[in-house]
A and B are shown apart, each in its own frame.
Chain A
Amino acid sequence: MKDTSYKDEGQFCSGHVACAGCAEALSMRVILNAVGEDAVGVVVPSCVAIILGGHPTSSARIPFIHGVLESAAAMASGVKQALVAQGKEDTTVLCLAGDGGTYDIGLQALSSAAERNEDILYICFDNEGYMNTGGQKSSSTPRAAATGSTPHGKTTRKKNLIEILAAHRIPYIATASTSHLPDLAAKVEKAKTIRGMKVIIVVIPCLPGWGVADNAVAKVSRLAVESGVFPLIEVEDGLKYTMNVDEKTQPIGPYLDQQKRYRHLSNEDREGLQLDVDESWNRLVEMADR
């Protein structure tokens, strides 16, 4: 993956209501500018909907419809088909959702749009929980993380959405992080050139939800990538796996230490999480080597 230096042509406006220091707002700036002017957006309830703003304001220059939580991909399909009916095949349909709207309640509609290979660009801002409602667990919440609904730590693993999507054999799946903004911009640019279903999952360390310091999201994002907790990868046609950062350079410890949601962990728990990361990493390496 060749990095693209990201640009800012004012597609994301200042004055939005994201928490100061939020990684999601930063990634939106990169994504909206990479997508450009010829785009129509769908957004569903999530932090991103709040950041986009209430009526009559909008922090995005492109038009958006604020849809319902479980229907992001279905609504994006409707927008796309209407645009095609109007002869606007080249207009990008950008779909923004959180992990609740993607891994949980929106998975059915997402799977269906993927099966139909709808020509949409779907971005999942993955902050690993229902952070907009005060921080409850979603199926994207990792094992051991404390949330409002798993106060002693979640007992089950994070759902592997990438493999679920890959099983649909859609043309493009990628992960991204605000610690690697040129990589994020390049992935959006690449997705724009592909016809069919594209999904990019962006890791969003949540200031209140993860218990991260106001000035630490870039650091936590970087540690997530470098520890292999959140590897940067691309999957093309569901088969071709590419690891964009192909080395784990950190143990999980420094990543965990930055977050209050893991502060209850014993050393044994931490070792268990390291084993989880190693296992998932090795599996990815194996897929990429095929």
Chain B
Amino acid sequence: MNAPVRNENLQLVSGNHAVAWGVKLVSPDVAPLYPITPQTPIFEKLVDFQSDNLLSTRLITPESEHSAMAAAIAASATGARVFTATSSQGLLLMHELLHYAAGARLPIVMFNVNRTPAAPWGFWPDQIDSLAQRDTGWVQLYSETPQESLDSTVQAFRIAEASNLPVMVNHDAFYVSHAVEPVSIPAADLVQSYVPKSVRELRLDTGLGHTIGAPIGQEGWNRSRRQMDAAMQTITGLTHEAGQEWEKLTGRSYGPLETYRTDGAEMVFITMGSMAGTAREAVDVLHQKGIKAGLIRVRLFRPLPIAELSTALAEIPRALVLDRNYSPGMGGVLHQELLAGLFGINNPPCIHGFLAGVGGVNVPVEALEKLATEYRNAEPDNNPIWVD
């Protein structure tokens, strides 16, 4: 995947620095930022760009992620293009304001580095921080590689500004955030033509006099959610469109889902983020052993692209969902979402849920091979299964 195009500017950068490159190329007006491991390299790289006069974005460095998101909301409401980044505790501290940002229909782009929340303290890849924000009204994308993190950061602005919904892009702590790979850095004018700045109609402006967020009656509040629902329904299409247009410019294509060797597959792994790399390799190994396995990587988690998933799974009898997260009392979040989202479709696959890699523990290719072999003929079980 991601075949290099000619004349490209390849640089060896980490996942987090790739995000900062994406931000630099988009050139937001305002970026409130607060440091947190393992997000901090995004913050520091943006400061470096600014110090070298390569970035004109106005950085705000408040005392907490809560204030960072509050400043992001207010700047966006004033009509600015806004970026921020966080992780784990920081994202959880922002929770109240995530609802506000989406409810006020502000196209903020945030990068979140998926990390375990306390207690106990840990700094390890786990997606529960962002999955716990699924009901806030933010679009959520999950990235697998540093290149994708750059590309998704840029695409997120396009999706956000077309829908007036905030977009959160996520990648796994360390496995992606600190993984150093050759990343193709697009030209600034290419990015600017892809996400041209526009003036938003509804903004705080002395010439307009709009007030934003004032108390409203039940019907008005209800209407605001119906409008969000309508906007959410455009996101899958916008994600397709953003990926296709990006492919025309860079040769790299993206959609709500990525499928790998799913044609004629007897079973597929379904997962998000860096786990897809392990699963892809397991698919190849399984093919050598005569098991027709495939992979569906969910890139767009909110809104969940149910129609795309139904189509992708139409001929596939069995799905093994790999969740690097744990929702206590229920199991893996993606597993539960797929059970709910796919309920009632024609020829539904037999879906198994696995808690694989919770807290960042390593899940080797062999572990997935073993799962595929063990569950090749198993009855479905809605209880979560912990993977050793």
Inter-chain contact A62/B206, CB cutoff 8 Å: yes
Inter-chain contact B75/A82, CB cutoff 8 Å: yes
Q: Which of A55, A65, A79, A115 contacts B220 (CB 8 A)?
A: A55
**A78 CB-CB contact with B under 8 Å:** yes
Residues of B near A54 (CB, < 8 A) are 214-217
Within 8 A of A (CB), among B4-31: 29-30
Within 8 A of B (CB), among A235-268: none
Residues of A near B70 (CB, < 8 A) are 67-68, 71, 74-75, 78, 109
Inter-chain contact A63/B71, CB cutoff 8 Å: no
Q: Name the residue of chain A whose CB is nearest to the CB of B32.
A: A78
Within 8 A of B (CB), among A59-81: 60-68, 70-71, 73-79, 81
A side interface size, CB within 8 A: 46
Residues of B near A70 (CB, < 8 A) are 66
Q: Which of B75, B205, B209 contacts A81 (CB 8 A)?
A: B75
The CA-CA distance from A49 to B213 in the complex, in Å, is: 11
The CA-CA distance from A185 to B204 in the complex, in Å, is: 25
Inter-chain contact A55/B216, CB cutoff 8 Å: yes
Residues of B near A53 (CB, < 8 A) are 214
**A83 CB-CB contact with B under 8 Å:** yes
**A52 CB-CB contact with B under 8 Å:** yes
**A111 CB-CB contact with B under 8 Å:** yes
Q: Name the residue of chain A whose CB is nearest to the CB of B56.
A: A85
Q: Name the residue of chain B whose CB is nearest to the CB of A118.
A: B60
**A86 CB-CB contact with B under 8 Å:** yes
Q: Which of B77-85, B127-135, B276-284 contacts A (4 or more CB under 8 A)?
A: B77-85
The CA-CA distance from A50 to B215 in the complex, in Å, is: 8
Q: Name the residue of chain A whose CB is nearest to the CB of B104.
A: A65
Q: Which of B79, B100, B215 contacts A55 (CB 8 A)?
A: B215
Q: Which of A58, A81, A86 contacts B60 (CB 8 A)?
A: A81
Q: Which of B61, B78, B206 contacts A78 (CB 8 A)?
A: B78
**B154 CB-CB contact with A under 8 Å:** no
Residues of B near A115 (CB, < 8 A) are 63
Within 8 A of B (CB), among A25-53: 37-40, 42, 49-50, 52-53
Inter-chain contact A116/B62, CB cutoff 8 Å: yes
Tier of interface size on chain B? 35 or more
Inter-chain contact B58/A79, CB cutoff 8 Å: no
CB-CB contacts of B210-225 with A at 8 A, as 1s and 0s?
A: 1111111100100000
**A84 CB-CB contact with B under 8 Å:** yes
Residues of A near B210 (CB, < 8 A) are 63
CB-CB contacts of A80-120 with B at 8 A, as 1s and 0s?
A: 01111110100100000000000000001101110110000
The CA-CA distance from A150 to B388 in the complex, in Å, is: 55
Q: Name the residue of chain B whose CB is nearest to the CB of A72.
A: B70
Inter-chain contact B206/A66, CB cutoff 8 Å: no
Inter-chain contact A82/B30, CB cutoff 8 Å: yes
Inter-chain contact B206/A39, CB cutoff 8 Å: yes
The CA-CA distance from A56 to B68 in the complex, in Å, is: 28
Q: Which of B67, B78, B205, B217 contacts A109 (CB 8 A)?
A: B67
The CA-CA distance from A74 to B96 in the complex, in Å, is: 14
**B40 CB-CB contact with A under 8 Å:** no
The CA-CA distance from A186 to B161 in the complex, in Å, is: 43
Name the residue among A66, A78, A84 with the largest chain B CB count within 10 angstroms.
Answer: A78
Inter-chain contact A68/B206, CB cutoff 8 Å: no
- Return the 6 tightest CB-CB contacts between A and B, nearest first: A78-B74, A78-B71, A71-B70, A82-B78, A74-B67, A112-B63
Question: Which residues of A come within 8 Å of B, CB atoms?
Answer: 37-40, 42, 49-50, 52-56, 58, 60-68, 70-71, 73-79, 81-86, 88, 91, 108-109, 111-113, 115-116
For the A-B complex with A58-B211, A75-B73, A78-B60 known, give 15 more contacts whose Cβ atoms are closer than 8 Å.
A52-B211, A54-B215, A55-B220, A62-B209, A63-B209, A65-B211, A71-B66, A77-B32, A79-B75, A79-B78, A82-B75, A85-B58, A91-B206, A109-B66, A116-B60
